[in-house]
Amino acid sequence: MLKPVIAALDVNTEAEALRIADLLGGRIDVYKVGPVLFYKYGRKIIDELNRRGKKVFLDVKLYDIPNTVKIAVETLQEIDIYAVTVHLSGGEEMLKKVTSLKRRPLIWGVSVLTSFDDSALKTLGFSCGAADQVDRLVKIGLKNNVDGIVSSAHELENINKLKKECGKTGVKCIVPGIRLHGGISPAGDDQKRVMTPTRAIKMGADFLVIGRPILESKDPVKTVEEIYEEMEMRGESER
């Protein structure tokens, strides 16, 4: 079973990304590679992480007309990628195109970015809040066989209810916006809907995508170990 923490390599250079991966060693099984590293280094950064025995979650949030996204995912078949994100708001036809591919990475559908709150959605013309919009998109994703849902931990309770209703309990919940020490965003943080690691796992998260708390730590190894220890201690106390 893969460890639940996905370390987000939200850094600017391949050297820094690989330094972090080497430093964390066996404590992390899956690394998130976002657009900055992927656009700079392409498959090279993926291959380097694969050589280290790591799985890669490619977080490029594909969103385009259905056939273009299908071709993009087909192209990614040539690279050893564990999972790739697509926007659920791309709609049913787009999702069907990619989930029906025989050879593909896992498809993880992005609902509402954790940098958005209700007021931000309102400025874009949405009449509903973040929770309702997440529900709408998750239903579309589950109906069209995505392998995972990416959302804030605040929506996990409803998402897990929807998974049960749809008979899709095997769909994974991937949660970004994880913050330590009470889940409060530090100054300058662009995340809005955040939560602590232990609470997110308790609420049903399968994977936690953690970047800044690890990357900005003076001791990233200790930080990761403390996250796991806290989860284990909380789990024991609730048995």
Phi, psi (degrees; rounded to nearest 5) at 137: -70, -40
Q: Is the backbone of residue 202 left (phi > 0), alpha (psi -120 to 50) or beta?
A: alpha
Q: How far apart are CA 151 and CA 153, in angstroms?
A: 6
- The least confident of 21-30, 123-132, 224-233 is 123-132
| Confidence category of residue 132, pLDDT binned at 50, 70, 90 | confident
Confidence category of residue 194, pLDDT binned at 50, 70, 90: low
Q: Name the helix (H) or strand (E) containing 75.
A: helix 66-76
The residue that leads in pLDDT, 199 or 50, is: 50
Closest to 26 measured CA to CA, from 8, 3, 1: 3
- Give 3-32 pLDDT, tens digit per residue: 999 999 999 999 999 999 999 999 999 999
pLDDT at 43: 95
pLDDT at 195: 80
| Residues labelled catalytic | 61
> Is pLDDT above 80 for 114?
no
What single-letter DSSP state applies at residue 185?
P
Query: Cα–Cα distance between 46 and 31 in angstroms, integer?
Result: 10
* C-beta of residue 48 within 8 angstroms of C-beta of residue 18: yes
Banded pLDDT at 98 (limits 50, 70, 90): very high
Indicate the length of the chain as a whole number: 239
- Cβ-count burial 103-137 (b if 16+ within 10 Å, e if not): ebbbbbbbbbbbebeeeebeeeeeeeebbbbbbeb
Give the mean pLDDT of 80-97: 96
When pLDDT is cut at 50, 70 and 90, the band that residue 34 belongs to is very high
pLDDT for the residue numbered 233: 59
DSSP helix, strand, coil percent of the chain (3-state; round to 5): 45, 15, 35
> What 3-state DSSP class applies to 106?
strand
Given a cut of 60, is residue 175 above it in pLDDT?
yes
At residue 206, what is the residue type? D
Report pLDDT digits (tens) over 135-155. Answer: 999 999 999 999 999 988 888
Domain 5-237: homologous superfamily in CATH = Aldolase class I (3.20.20.70)
* Least confidently predicted of 61-75, 86-100, 111-125, 199-213: 111-125
Mean pLDDT of the chain: 89
Q: What are the distances in angstroms from CA 145 to CA 94, 96, 175?
A: 12, 8, 19
